[in-house]
Amino acid sequence: MPTNYWITTHWPVPEVETAFGRHVYVKERHVTVPKSDDVVFVRESVRVKGKLSPTVDRCHLGLRRPTVIPRGYGGIIGRMTVGGGHRPIAAHDVVYEYDDLHAWSIIECHGFERLQLPLPELMAAIGQPGTTSTRFLHLWHVPDKHVPTLLRAVEAVTGR
């Protein structure tokens, strides 16, 4: 079965956060979602709900701790592989409450590898003008015709 490539958008988390696991986060409205062994590139938004450094609650094991969220990168910050199915967010997950946490669930991923591909290079690699809104990248299946250029752009910044 061929590998499918996806781009998902995460809001920024503090750089010192070591327990936060990167996964695909979905709401019930998502009909098409990544499957096991698909590759997902994580794009980090610059702002959270229009704010550059909001305070949100970090939630873990029933505890909520207000946390200042940094300004995000804007482009791709890493890649990971889908490893599991769709499940509810559990108490052992480290998540950030951005307003509607109860509406989200997780598709588990593994092997998160940090990389940085700036937004202009990302948009060019997927055939989008630089003026295109990034909203469609919340969870986007990369069309086969754009996969080679996206992988070349990633290879150019990672060396592999």
Determine the structural domain holding residue 134 and report its residue range. 5-158
Task: State the average pLDDT over residues 114-122.
Answer: 95
| pTM for the structure as a whole | 0.92
* Maximum Cα–Cα distance across the chain: 45
Name the residue among 99, 153, 101, 157 with its Cα closest to residue 122.
Answer: 153
In the predicted model, is pLDDT for residue 18 greater than 80? no
Q: Which of 27-31, 117-121, 136-140 has the lowest mean pLDDT?
A: 27-31
pLDDT of residue 157: 87
Cα torsion 121, 127, 35, 157 to 10°: value is -20
Q: How many domains does the chain have?
A: 1
d(CA 56, CA 14): 11
d(CA 129, CA 51): 24
The enclosing H or E element of 77 equals: strand 76-88
In the predicted model, is pLDDT for residue 126 greater than 80? yes
